[in-house]
Chain A
Amino acid sequence: MPWDSPLVTKLKKQYGSGFEAQTYLGQNYLRVDRSLIPNILKQLRDEEQFDYCVDLTAVHYPKRERQFDIVWILYSHPKNERIRVKTEIAEGESTPSSVDIWATTNWLERETFDMFGIRFDGHPDLKRILLPDGWKGHPLRKDYGIIQQDQEWVQINLGIESGQ
C-alpha cells in the first residue's frame, strides 16, 4: 500500500523517481534507489530526527535480477516513530557504509557482510564477525544449504572429518 505523509511529500519533491513510500500493517518503509544511499540516510538522521539505527540487515532473493534487499530499521527518539529504508543491490555490487551516520552499524554491517557477502564501501574494518575469518561461503544466502559447511575449514581447524 502506498504511504503518504509530509515527510514523503518532501522527499519525493527532492528525489523524484527512484523513491517509493509504502506501508504494510501500519509500518512504513521507503524503497530507495541505491544511488540515493547514503544521502537519504544522512538526511533522515539530521533533518528528520531518526537518531537511532535499530538494525541493519539484508534479504536474499536469488530469482530477482538485483538479488539483495538491504534494510535499515530506524527509530526516532524525539518522534517515537519507526521507519524502514530498503534498497536493492545486485550480486557483487557494494553499497556505501553508514558507519559515519550511526556508529552502531559498524558491527551490523560486518554481520551482513559475514552472512550475505555484501560489501560496504568505506567501512573501517569489514571482516567476518560471527564466523571464523577463513570460512568460505555466506550462510544466509538462499543457495547455501542448511547443513552445508566449509568442509575444508572444519577438517583443518577442528581435525574432524565433518561437523555434521
Chain B
Amino acid sequence: MSDRTIPVSPLDLDTPEKTYLDANELILNMGPQHPATHGVLRVILRLDGEKVLGLECVIGYLHRGVEKIAENRTYTMFNPYVDRMDYVAAVSNGLGYCEAVEKLLNIEAPPRANYIRVILTELNRIASHQLWLGTHALDIGAMTPLFYTFRDREEILKIFEKYCGARLTTHAFRIGGCQYETYEGFEKDVKKFVAFVAPKIDEYEELLTTNRIWVERTKNVGTISAKDCIALGVTGPVLRASGVKWDLRKAQPYANYQQFDFEIPTGQNGDTYDRYLVRMAEMRQSLRIIQQAVDGIPEGPIMAKVSKVMKPAVGEIYHSIEAPKGELGYFIVSDGSTQPYRVRVRPPSFVNLQALDVMCRGQLVADVIAVIGTLDIVLGEVDR
C-alpha cells in the first residue's frame, strides 16, 4: 500500500544517533505515575529539543483480565464487571453489554426500560464529558473549569445515587431491562437538572472558548485527518472533530434513539480545539435527548420476560454502542451453556490511544499533555 502516511514501524528507542553538541535528541520517559497521563499510562518520547519525533505507549498496568473473568461467570454475574472498565461512563458499558446479551437471547427491553436507559446513558455522557473537560483544562493550566464541572457533575451522581444506590459503578441495567423502577420525583429531578446545567455549559464556554491561552494551546495542536482517523479505527468525538459525521446512535440506532431528534456535531480541523467544541456541543445535544425522553417516558413494565438461567443458543453476536469515548463493542460467543464461551470487549479508549503517536509527531512536549487529555482515555478501559 503506497498511500499510507501512518507510521507503523516501531520507534527506535536506543541511544540517539547524534549525541554531541550539534544535536539534542533524547529519549524521555513520561509516567506511569504522572498526574497528566490520567492514570497509569507510560509514554516514551523521542525528542529533538522540545520537538517530538515519535513516541511509544506502554500500557497494561491496570490489566485485570476482564475477558478471562467473563468466561468463568454466568451472563448475569459478569454484568457488574463491565462497569469497572470505563468507570467514568459505567452506565454506557452496562447498556452495551446488556443489549448484546439481549440480542443473543433474542429478547427486547420494554419501551419504558429503553427510556430509562437513554436518560441515564445521556446523563452519564454529560458526566463523562464534564470530567474530561475539568481534567483536560487542568492539564493545560486552567484550574477553574475543574471546580465548575465537578460541582455540576455532582448533580448527575446524585440522581444515579437516588436511582440505584451507587454513584460511579452503577450497575443500573439488567439483561432484559432495568432492575429498578424510577424513584418518586425522578422526572422532576432530571428536568431540574436539565434546566440547571444548560446555562452552566455556557459558563464553561465563557471561560475557555475565546480564552487566548486556551486557544493558543489547543488550536492546530494534535491535528489528525479524517482519513487517518478511519485507518486507525478512531471513533467518537475525535473522529467527528475531523469532520466525519458518524455516530452510532444515528448510523445504527440502538435502545430507542431513533425516536429522538438530535444532531451530530462535527468539527473541521481535527485539532484539539475542535474536539473541545464538539464535546461541548454534544453535551447540549444530550440535554435535548434527555428532555425529549423525560417528556415522553411511557408507563409500563421495565423488564422483559427473561428466564433466571440464561442459556443462549450456540452462536455469536457483535453489538456496539456509542459510548462517550467512541464505539464500544461486545463480541460474545455462546456455546449454549450458562457462561459465555468468549467475551471480547472492543474498547474505544484502547483503539483511540493508538492515534497518540500520529497526533504528537512534530509537536512540542507540552502538547503531548494536551493531546492525551483531548483523546479522553480512561486507563481502566485501555487495559481492562
Contacts and interface: CB of A to CB of B under 8 A. Distances in A.
Interface of A: 24-25, 27, 51-55, 57, 59-60, 71, 73, 77, 80, 82, 84, 99-104, 106-108, 115, 124-125, 128-132, 139-140, 144, 146
Contact of B60 (A51, A73, A124, A130): A130
Among A54, A82, A125, max chain B CB count under 10 A is at A54
B8 A104 contact: no
Given A73-B329, A130-B383, A100 B315 contact: no
Contacts of B252: 80
A52 B252 CA distance: 15
Interface of B: 1, 4, 6, 8-10, 59-60, 63, 65, 67-69, 71-72, 103-104, 106, 228, 230-234, 244, 246, 251-252, 315-318, 320, 327, 329, 331, 333, 341-342, 344, 346, 350-351, 354, 383-384
A100 B329 contact: no
A107 B329 contact: no
Contact of A25 (B71, B106, B331): B106
Given A100-B1, A100-B4, A25 B317 contact: yes
Given A25-B317, A54-B320, A54-B346, A104 B351 contact: yes
Contact of B346 (A55, A139, A146): A55
Given A73-B346, A77-B230, A107-B354, 16 more contacts: A25-B103, A25-B317, A27-B317, A54-B329, A55-B344, A59-B333, A99-B8, A103-B8, A103-B228, A106-B8, A107-B350, A108-B351, A130-B63, A139-B68, A140-B342, A146-B72
A54 B60 contact: no
A79 to B, nearest CB: 11
B232 A104 contact: yes
B162 to A, nearest CB: 36
Nearest to A104: B233
Contact of B318 (A73, A99, A131, A144): A73
A24 B106 CA distance: 11
A53 B68 contact: no
B233 A52 contact: yes
Contacts of A129: 59-60
A60 B9 CA distance: 29
A102 B251 CA distance: 21
Contacts of B383: 130
Given A99-B8, A103-B8, A71 B351 contact: no
B320 A104 contact: no
Contacts of B315: 24-25
B318 A84 contact: yes
18 contacts: A25-B103, A51-B230, A52-B230, A54-B320, A54-B346, A55-B331, A55-B344, A59-B341, A100-B4, A102-B233, A106-B8, A107-B350, A125-B9, A129-B60, A130-B383, A132-B60, A146-B68, A146-B69
